[in-house]
């Protein structure tokens, strides 16, 4: 039986490498403005460091990394970097402004997973740059496939004329457009949407979103989270239908960025790390989890506004209060001295990351044994991440009969019951525990009828179909289409053409 959630994907992440610290554009709203202005204009990652990162990705079963900058394709040894990707079998998600050489576009063909081309108003391009941009987008679609190329717009004012993005989409016959509002850089010196203007700006974003959809662009989506109270309940519903992740309307996912000098970073709007090398950590997964745990503390303990304190969306971890860049104190520098004060998080992220890697490399027996030892330690016996990977390993080892009650408790105690239920149900079905997988999926639906409920309905449609229970299978298929976000419905129609 196929599954719409994979446990390996659930435990995965995509590191982003800042190949360069320079750019051939100067966007007034760029939230990397502080980072770029503080770096040497020729700063770029060296080939030895790049190869080391790609080797680590291979060892940790990370199949794709992001390319960022600056403008990453301006790296002086870009073809050598492409060859390193081929050597280690690692794909690239490329974030670019599209003003790049055709030779580079062609060379990227073998490694591209996807490309996002950031676009600006026509008046910001000089000479034949705009014509070249259109030609490059068309060439990318021809070489990589239309489904792998998207263009994006960043709205930096509620008075901004955003209609140009429709013109660009029609001229390039693009299928996907990403829409976002600009977020504050650490210094707040870029052009960004003030918190008080978020609702008005979202209304403008929604207008261009509808315009694009109405003119035949198949996949138009928002990206980063919004403070839900700031946009209103009607807009929250709209946002949930057109965001590119199940929880993305209210919270962001953690990024591990690696700078040209091999230091760790997160999103440009988030925690500002200083002089903490990636080598400080035992793996890329260790670094990512450390940042994740640190950001989780700030997401849910630092209120963006006073009204967040008693908000049920914050208490249920459905809304972090908008971009982390709006939170007070989020941009304080986090240096090695502060790292020493977070040794508990450092140790916890090291333990969990080592278990993740064991699991992803299919060493389920060792993962189960090591996780079990930690759970016997009073310090870690209540750690949900260790317990989760322990149970998943037990399921893979066909020991589920020992842990049925634990699975039920994990789902019942989760902030996101439907997500956790889907995870356990998927692994259970893959290990021939179909009846229990159905029980867990039904439990997830009972506890959480929103968010990812549609995924559970699809799972149950397939599960009951396998058991020849046609009526229950059909009911869940109908419910799947009923609750499926509009953005996914459009993708389904596109795939069936």
- CB atoms under 10 Å from CB of 456, counted, come to 31
CA proximity to 313, closest of 216, 215, 412, 247: 247
Instruction: Say what the pLDDT of residue 246 is.
Output: 80
3-state secondary structure of 166: helix
Predicted confidence at residue 491, as pLDDT, reads 59
Q: Which of 321, 317, 345 is nearest to 451 (CA)?
A: 317
In angstroms, the Cα distances linking 462 to 29, 194, 396, 450, 454 are: 46, 46, 21, 20, 13
Which pLDDT value is given to residue 369?
Answer: 98
Domains of the chain and any CATH numbers: 7-340 (3.20.20.70), 398-496 (1.25.40)
In angstroms, what CA-CA distances link 244 with 6, 221, 257? 17, 6, 20
For 220, half-sphere exposure in the C-beta direction (CA atoms, 13 angstrom radius) is: 20
pLDDT at residue 344, rounded to an integer: 95
| pLDDT at position 247 | 83
Strands (E), 278-368: 333-334
Contact 331, 236 (CB under 8 A): no
**CB 82 within 8 Å of CB 106:** no
CA 242, 244, 245, 248 torsion-angle sign: negative
Walk along the chain (497 residues) and give the pLDDT tens digit of each residue.
333 456 666 678 999 999 999 999 989 888 887 777 666 656 999 999 999 999 999 999 999 999 999 999 999 999 999 999 999 999 999 999 999 999 999 999 999 999 999 999 999 999 999 999 999 999 999 999 999 999 999 999 988 999 999 999 999 999 999 999 999 888 888 889 999 999 999 999 999 999 999 999 999 999 999 999 999 999 999 999 999 788 888 999 999 999 999 999 999 889 999 999 999 999 999 999 999 999 999 999 999 999 999 999 999 999 999 999 999 887 778 999 999 999 999 999 999 999 999 999 999 999 999 999 999 999 999 999 999 999 999 999 999 999 999 999 999 999 999 999 999 999 999 999 999 999 999 999 999 866 678 999 999 999 999 999 999 999 999 999 998 988 887 656 554 45
């Amino acid at each position: 039986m196929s599954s719409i959630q994979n446990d390996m994907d659930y435990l995965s992440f995509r590191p982003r490498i800042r190949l360069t610290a320079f750019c051939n554009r100067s966007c007034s709203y760029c939230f990397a403005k502080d980072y770029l202005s503080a770096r040497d204009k020729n700063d770029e990652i060296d080939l030895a460091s790049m190869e080391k990162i790609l080797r680590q990705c291979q060892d940790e079963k990370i199949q794709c990394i992001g390319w960022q900058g600056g403008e990453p394709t301006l790296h002086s040894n870009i073809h050598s970097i492409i060859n390193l990707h081929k050597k280690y079998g690692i794909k690239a998600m490329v974030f670019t402004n599209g003003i790049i050489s055709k030779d580079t576009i062609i060379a990227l063909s073998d490694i591209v997973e996807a490309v996002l081309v950031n676009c600006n108003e026509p008046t910001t391009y000089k000479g034949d740059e705009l014509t070249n941009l259109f030609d490059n987008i068309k060439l990318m679609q021809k070489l990589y496939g239309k489904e792998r190329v998207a263009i994006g717009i960043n709205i930096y004012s509620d008075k901004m004329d955003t209609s140009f993005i429709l013109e660009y989409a029609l001229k390039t016959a693009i299928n996907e457009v990403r829409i976002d509002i600009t977020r504050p850089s650490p210094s707040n010196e870029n052009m960004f949407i003030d918190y008080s203007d978020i609702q008005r700006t979202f209304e403008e974003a929604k207008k261009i979103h509808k315009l694009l959809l109405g003119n035949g662009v198949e996949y138009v989506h928002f990206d980063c989270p919004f403070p839900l109270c700031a946009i209103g309940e009607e807009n929250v519903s709209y946002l949930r239908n057109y965001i590119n992740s199940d929880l993305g309307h209210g919270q962001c996912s953690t990024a591990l960025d690696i700078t040209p000098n091999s230091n760790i970073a997160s999103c440009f709007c988030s925690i500002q790390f200083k002089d903490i090398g990636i080598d400080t950590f035992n793996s890329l997964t260790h670094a990512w989890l450390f940042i994740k745990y640190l950001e989780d503390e700030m997401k849910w303990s630092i209120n963006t506004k006073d009204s967040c304190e008693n908000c049920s969306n914050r208490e249920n971890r459905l809304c972090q209060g908008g971009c982390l860049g709006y939170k007070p104190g989020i941009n304080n520098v986090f240096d090695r001295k502060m790292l020493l004060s977070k040794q508990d998080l450092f140790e916890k992220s090291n333990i969990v990351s080592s278990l993740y890697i064991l699991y992803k490399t299919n060493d389920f027996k060792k993962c189960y044994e090591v996780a079990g030892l930690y759970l016997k330690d009073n310090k870690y016996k209540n750690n949900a991440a260790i317990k989760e990977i322990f149970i998943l390993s037990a399921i893979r080892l066909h020991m589920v009969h020992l842990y049925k009650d634990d699975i039920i408790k994990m789902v019942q105690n989760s902030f996101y019951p439907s997500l956790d239920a889907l995870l356990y149900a998927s692994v259970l079905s893959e290990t021939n525990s179909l009846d229990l997988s159905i029980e867990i999926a039904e439990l997830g639906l009972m506890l959480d009828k929103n968010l990812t409920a549609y995924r559970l309905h699809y799972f149950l449609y397939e599960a009951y179909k396998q058991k020849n229970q046609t009526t229950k299978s059909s009911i869940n298929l109908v419910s799947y289409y009923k609750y499926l976000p509009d953005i996914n419905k459009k993708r389904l129609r596109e795939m069936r053409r």
